C-alpha cells in the first residue's frame, strides 16, 4: 500500500494549445495509455463526499485501486495494486477493498455493498520531468467525447503554482481550475441521461 499526498494544478486545453505544448515539452516522447474505471454507489455516495474511487489499468497490465480523499492541501491517495479486472455495470466485490479504503468509506457511511463500476475513461498520457515538478499532458476519451488537459504535479504548492503560472503564460492562458476527470466523466454521463 502507498499513501501519497497529491498536489497538482490542472488546465483544460483546446486541441491547438495541446499540440503546441506537446511540440515544446514532449517532442520525442511516446504517450502511454491507461484506463480508469470509476466506482461509486448508484446514488453517488462517494462523489458526494468529494472523493473518488477508481481502478486504473495500464498498458503494462499493472492494475491499481485508488481512493482519493480531499486534504487541507491537495488530496490523500490510498493506492493498492490489484489483479481485479473491472467490468462495466457490475458490483465491486467488497472483499476486494483493502482495509484502509474500507475504513475511510465506512467513516463516511458509504454502503460498500452497493459499489458499482459506473464507467471508464481512457487517457493517452505524456510525462516530462520539469525542474519544479512532473508536467503531464493528457488526451482523454470517454462517453463519446474527448478533452485535453495539462497537469503539473508538485511537492510544494506555492512554488509549484508559480511555475505552473509561468508555463501557462507562455501560451497566453489564464489558470481556470477544471473539474477533475472523475467529475467530468460523471457530468458527461448525467448530460447523456438527460438527453
CA 39, 45, 51: angle at the middle one, nearest 5? 65
Contact assessment for residue 160 and residue 7, using Cβ atoms and an 8 Å cutoff: yes
The CATH superfamily holding the domain 2-194 is: Hypothetical Protein Pfu-838710-001 (2.40.320.10)
Identify the sign of the CA torsion 48, 50, 55, 56: positive
**How far, in Å, CA of 83 to CA of 59, rounded?**
14
Alpha helix segments (H runs only) across 108-156? none
The domain spans of the chain are 2-194
Global confidence as pTM: 0.91
Report the C-alpha gap between 181 and 36 in whole angstroms.
9
In the prediction, which pLDDT does 86 show? 94
The pLDDT assigned to 194 comes to: 85
User: In this predicted structure, what is the pLDDT of residue 1?
Assistant: 59
pLDDT in tens, the chain (195 residues): 577 788 999 999 999 999 999 999 999 999 999 999 999 999 999 999 999 999 999 988 789 999 999 988 888 999 999 999 999 999 999 999 999 999 999 999 999 999 999 999 999 999 999 889 999 999 999 999 999 999 999 999 999 999 999 999 999 999 999 999 999 999 998 888 887
Amino acid at each position: 500500500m502507498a499513501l501519497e499526498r497529491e498536489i497538482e494544478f490542472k488546465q483544460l486545453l483546446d486541441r491547438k494549445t495541446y499540440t503546441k505544448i506537446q511540440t515544446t515539452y514532449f517532442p520525442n516522447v511516446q504517450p502511454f495509455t491507461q484506463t480508469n474505471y470509476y466506482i461509486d454507489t448508484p446514488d453517488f455516495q462517494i462523489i458526494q463526499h468529494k472523493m473518488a474511487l477508481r481502478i486504473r489499468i495500464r498498458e503494462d497490465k499493472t492494475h491499481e485501486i485508488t481512493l482519493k480523499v480531499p486534504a487541507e492541501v491537495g488530496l490523500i491517495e490510498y493506492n493498492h495494486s490489484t489483479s481485479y479486472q473491472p467490468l462495466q455495470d457490475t458490483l465491486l466485490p467488497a472483499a476486494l477493498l483493502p482495509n484502509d479504503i474500507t475504513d475511510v468509506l465506512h467513516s463516511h457511511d458509504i454502503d460498500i455493498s452497493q459499489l458499482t463500476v459506473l464507467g471508464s475513461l481512457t487517457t493517452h498520457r505524456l510525462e516530462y520531468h520539469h525542474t519544479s515538478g512532473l508536467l503531464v499532458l493528457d488526451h482523454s476519451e470517454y462517453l463519446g467525447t474527448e478533452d485535453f488537459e495539462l497537469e503539473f504535479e508538485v511537492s510544494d504548492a506555492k512554488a509549484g503554482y508559480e511555475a505552473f503560472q509561468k508555463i501557462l503564460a507562455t501560451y497566453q492562458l489564464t489558470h481556470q481550475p477544471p473539474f477533475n476527470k472523475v467529475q467530468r466523466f460523471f457530468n458527461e454521463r448525467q448530460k447523456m441521461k438527460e438527453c
